[in-house]
Structures are given as C-alpha cells and as structure tokens.
Structure 1
Amino acid sequence: MDSIIELRHLKTLLALEETGSVSLAAKRVFLTQSALSHQIRALENYYGTPLFERKSSPLRFTPAGERLLQLARDLMPQVAAAERDLARIVEGEAGELRLAVECHTCFDWLMPAMGEFRPLWPQVELDIVSGFQADPVGLLLQHRADLAIVSEAAPQAGITYQPLFAYGMVGICAKDHPLAAKTVWEAGDFAGETLITYPVPDDMLDLLRKVLLPKGINPPRRHSELTIAIIQLVASRRGIAALPYWTVMPYIEKDYVVSRRITRNGLQSELYAAMRAEDAGKAYLENFCRIVRERSFADLPGLSVLQQ
C-alpha cells in the first residue's frame, strides 16, 4: 500500500509538538512558514481531516494529528538509530571527541548533551579540554581538541562550522536599581554603571562587541568566574550584567533580580560547533551536534534557530 507519509512530514509534526507554533516549527526544520503549511495541508487533504486546531495557542493536535504524532515519536528514533548503526559499519565505532569551550554558560546544556551521547557512542572517548579556552579554534588546529563551541563562525583555513542555536541576552539589575524602571536598556544606559562580566576579552562579550563599543561606551568592570556570583553581586547593587536568558530565568522567577531587554530589537548571541574540515563528515561529530541542538531546544527557554 502506497503512503503519502514521508520522514520530512514526521519531523515537521515533532517540531510542531516541541514548539507549539507553526512559525517556530518552520524555523526548527529550516522551512518557510508557507512551505511547512503546505506539507500539513497535503496530509490533511489526503486524509480528509485537520491535524491540529488552527486557533489554539499553544497548538493542539486533533485525534488524527495525535496518531501521526505517535508514529513520528515511534519511528524517528528508530531511523536515527539505524543511521548511527550504518555509520558504525562504514566508519567504525571508535574515535575521540575532545571538546573545547569559550562559553562560561555552556555547561547548562553541554552536560545533558554529553550524557545522551555517551551510551549511543560507547567507544568514542568523550572529554572536555580542561579550563576556559580563549582560543578554542587554535586547539583544533593544534589537534589538542576535536570540536570547539564558539560564538562566531570566523572564516579560517581548515576549519568548518555547524550552527547550533541563537539565544537572547538580557540585562539584569537589582529590583531597586534605577534601571529597573526601564523596559528596554539602550547603550547609553550602561554608561557610568559598573558592568559585571566573566574575565574574558572584550571581543568575546556580545554586549560590548555588538552594543557598547560601537557607541564608544566602555563602562568600568568587575569580574567573576561564576554565574551565581555575578547574580549575587547584581542583587547586592554592586553593578549590572548581561547574561543568557536561560541562565538567569530561575533567579528572575525567585525575584532575586529583574531582567530587561537590551536594545529595542534585543541582543541575540550565537553558538557554533567548529571542527577541522577533514573531520566534518565523521558521523559521531555530526550526531553530537544534532543532540546538542535537540536537547538545547527541548530544555532551554528563549532559543531560536541559527540558519546554516
């Protein structure tokens, strides 16, 4: 019996379930919203029934949609497992995956991804290059690391990049700080304030690189290695900070600090996986990047798709 159902349809249904939105699901599967809607309409026309309620928010599946969604939940993990098995047959199961990171907040999502990866590739030696790395791409070229998590896809000979995700940065201050009265912080609001940051070069801080330094604003700094210490200093009115939304959300919910949008359009940051071009086709590297994206979108609030 012929079937209209294709793997792309099942991926679309899973994206709809995860995001609860047609527009967000389209970004997740790298389609335009109209192309995704066309996929859904083709299924609905074929079966003669809607798959989800158009005006619900978040999106709610009909019984027919739930049945196809269950098929997607059952089948797609089997497809992924078969693809991993084929890669092991062709490339072998063993390898080395040493990670280098330049991001202090990466471990919020990196550790769960590593935990999911290990049982899938038990003979791949997975490790983190110890310490914060100011030049993780350099470690790739020196063969001291195999994959680097970086905030810019700067063209470099012998290096290729895979987009992971984009995320929102928010400004945080104490509840009784004068800036708490503003809903949006512009560059000028940081002038004269003490900016609490991680101890990294300015060009690794998106707030400085994208917002403040282009406006000639270079506020005094105070540094801390630990996110919780930064938040504690902010809550004590020792300064203000800019951190990923997913990092500060638990402290906002507990009313320790308040968060505000940075610039009218918001401050977006990006993360990429960098690897040596010669290694880019290795199945376990590709699979690790996919796991990072899927786990991060499932676990962290405020992410958006970073286009290829």
Structure 2
Amino acid sequence: MVDRPKKPSALPTSAGSSMPPAPQVDISPSSDRVTATLPTGESCEVLLYGATLVSWKSEGGQRENLWMSDAAKVDGSKAVRGGIPLVFPVFGPPPSSSHLPQHGFARISRWEFLGKSTSESDSSVQLDFGLMSSNLSPEMRAAWPCEFGVIYSVTLGRRSLETRVVVRNEGAAAWEFMWLWHTYLRVEDIHQTHLTGLSSTPYHDRVASAHLTSEPSPTPLTITSETDRVYHPPDPQSTITVHTPAPRYEITRENLPDVVVWNPWEEKAKGMSDFEPKDGWENMLCVEEGSVREGVRLEGGEAWEGGVTVRLVEEG
C-alpha cells in the first residue's frame, strides 16, 4: 500500500518561496482505511474492506454528505450499512444456481490501495484501489470462477466527489456482470426532499412487484413510503438532482443506464439489525447508479468503464 512507483521527486524551492499546500493522504495505523484531506478541509475516507466510502465531508470538513448507520459493521464481519458500498458482480439475490452472496463480493472483499495522485489546477486528489480474482477467498473463487481485474478511483474536489471504475476480463472465456454504486446520501429531512431528472423515466417498482414496469411520472419524485425503484432513464447523460434543505446534490453518470432509488421507511428500518438509529430513514436517501437491468458482457481481454460525479450546488 504505497504511492505509485516512479513518482517525481519534489521540486527544490528557493529561499523566500514556498509551494502551495498539497492534499494529505493518510493510511490508518491498522492499515484498514485511507483518508484524503484537501488543504481547505474537505475530506473523504475509504475502508479497504469493500473499498467502501464511509465519509465525504465538504464545507471545510464541516458537512457530512454520506449517511452511515450507527450500527454499521466496519470490521469486515458483514457489508457496511451506509456510505457507498460497491455492488459487483450481481445485483440483489444471485441466481439460484450460484453461491454468491447478495449484491456479490466486491463490498465484502479486501481491496488493495494502489496509490494517489493530485492536481494543482483544481486542488483535487485521486485515490486508486484494486481488486483481482486472485484476491478473493477460495469460497468466492469457487462461486464465481472468472478471471477479472477491477480498478476503482475516488477523486475528491472542493464541492464534488467523482467515482470511476474499470472492469477488465483477464481470462479467455466471456462472462457477464452487474455494477452499482449503493450510495447513501445524507439529507436533512426526507419529508422535505424530492428528486428531479427522473420524471419522464419508466421504472420497476420492487416494492409493489419486481416485474412491474410503471409508467413515467410527470411530477418530481417525493418519498412518502418504503421506496425501492429501478429507473431506466432514456438519456444516460441526464442529470439527477436531489433537492433537500441544504446544498442540493447534482448527479451525473457515464455509461450507467440504471438508477435505483431506495429508502426503507419506518417499518423496514425497524427490522434491520444494523440500521441505527431506527429513525435514520428520515435523514438518508439512496440514489444508486449502475448497470443492473441486464448484465454487461465482456469477452476475453475486454474492459468496461463507468463513472459517477456528485456535485454540491447551493439552492436558489
């Protein structure tokens, strides 16, 4: 877990001159997480377990933008409840013939920290993480015997968080996969939150019926009960905006055709042992970007890339 090799040496400075402050990247003493902090105080924190983003702070480090359950397990005993877990290579329950866990193994595997890079032009820092088939446990290798490599990048900016992934087939045989960012956004009040950018989009309502295709709604989406919908925006470049009593979230996607909107609401939250506080559903909304309606097929040697950028924009 070191920086990239062949990193250029620091430039010498002359007397009376100084270099501008640079982003700081730290690895925890237990080597279980990586934290990046900008000179202005913004930060993000990534567990190596699952490469799960568990914190993204803006406004000089004063505002937390991700919701985390107080009962989330961050010791590797189960998937993290909150933050941004990674869903790969299946979404939801696996096929009956498979022994894969729900939502796959990416979120419950230990990733490798590959290094960092910084940009002086926009005061950003990028963290890179990797997962290969050789990193998997024998049980997961048996459940999904495909040769693969995944590079996951997290870029922290002053008022933005960009996440990108490259999935590569490292073998000769073709295989299919699904990918999803299971993003838990923190909102001030779910009752005063609505989404725009999905109003003309058909969706599958997984609460009413996993097979029901609903007609597009002409109004902004408000959350008034348990919600679990898979939207299929006709324009993959469209912006989805989460309006909440704070800076709004503007979400753009690249090569990701599907968007999941999820909130467990009161009754379901009560039945989830790792969901705390039980009224936490009032302060979170999952807006999840990925490719989950059908699998992405990769032939031997092929690669697939996707990305999400979340920007904070003042209302008004």
Same fold by TM (over 0.5)? no
TM-score of the pair, normalised by structure 2: 0.25
Return the structure number with greater strand share.
Answer: 2
Larger radius of gyration: 1
TM-score of the pair, normalised by structure 1: 0.25
Q: Which has the higher contact order (CA 8 A, sep 6+)?
A: 1
